[in-house]
Amino acid sequence: MAGPGFTDKKICLDRRVLRCLNRYMPATLQIVQSPEKAGVLLQPGRLRLLEQLTEPDSAAGLARRLGVPRQKLNYHLRELEREGFLELIEERRKGNCVERVVRAVAREYLIAPQTGDRVTADRFSAAYLASTAARMIRELASFCIRARRAGKRVATLTLETEIRFASAQSRAAFAEEMTACIARLAAKYHNEQAEGGRRFRLLSAVYPAVRLEESATESANLE
């Protein structure tokens, strides 16, 4: 049986291990929020370089693997590092030169959509759904950056499924039932006065499913 203080020590150890993993492992996802950074990322060939740098390597090592001149790679690596897509792991002295070993900061990249004018809150509007999803991505990006710096994880929940509705009427009935169910759960669990409570944002959305093998005509599903 664990003695007094064992749980606290284990939690402390788990946090140290998590910080260590965050330091030596790339993040799963980096969300790119500025158009300027997106432009740097989307230059031809740069995504391939980042794919090759999920494990630390130098320009010389990468040049040998890809069969590309090291001088050409150096330019692209400097640009990617300047914009925060690469991080310096170590510097190795080789003769009169210093070899920089870098690694991609993430395994996948998502360019956050930019919204313009404020969209009217209309739960049946595709524009409102896109605007709300864009806000979610921007807010999640901010949380992920802060959580990674603190060696923590962001508390999130994702549910995903597909439903084949028999008709527009059945889809409308589903929307009404889902809305009522969410309103009931929100009223049940919302506590404005709870000490130490924390707000979470719930986004529920339904939109036509698109399959890659479907033709453009079959997948349009416009009304």
Work out the end-to-end distance of the chain between its first and last CA atoms, rounded to an integer number of angstroms: 64
* HEC-encoded secondary structure of 101-124: EEEECEEEEEECCCCCCCCCCCCC
The percentage of residues in the chain with a pLDDT greater than 70, rounded to a whole number, is 79
* The pLDDT of residue 6 is above 70: no
CB neighbour list of residue 223: distance below 8 Å, 6 or more residues apart: 168
Q: What is the pLDDT of residues 40-51, one digit of tens each?
A: 888 888 888 999
Mean pLDDT of the 60-76 span: 90
Q: Please, are residues 88 and 100 in contact by the beta-carbon 8 Å criterion?
A: yes
pLDDT for residue 219: 30
Q: What is the C-alpha to C-alpha distance for residues 205 and 223, in angstroms, rounded to an integer? A: 17
Mean pLDDT of the 168-195 span: 94
Query: Which domains does the chain possess?
Result: 22-109 (1.10.10.10)
CB neighbour list of residue 70: distance below 8 Å, 6 or more residues apart: 59, 60, 63
Q: Which two tokens stand for residue 57?
A: 């390597």
- pTM score > 0.75 for this model? no
**Least confident span in 3-7, 40-44, 117-121, 215-219:** 215-219
The more confidently predicted of residues 221 and 209 is: 209
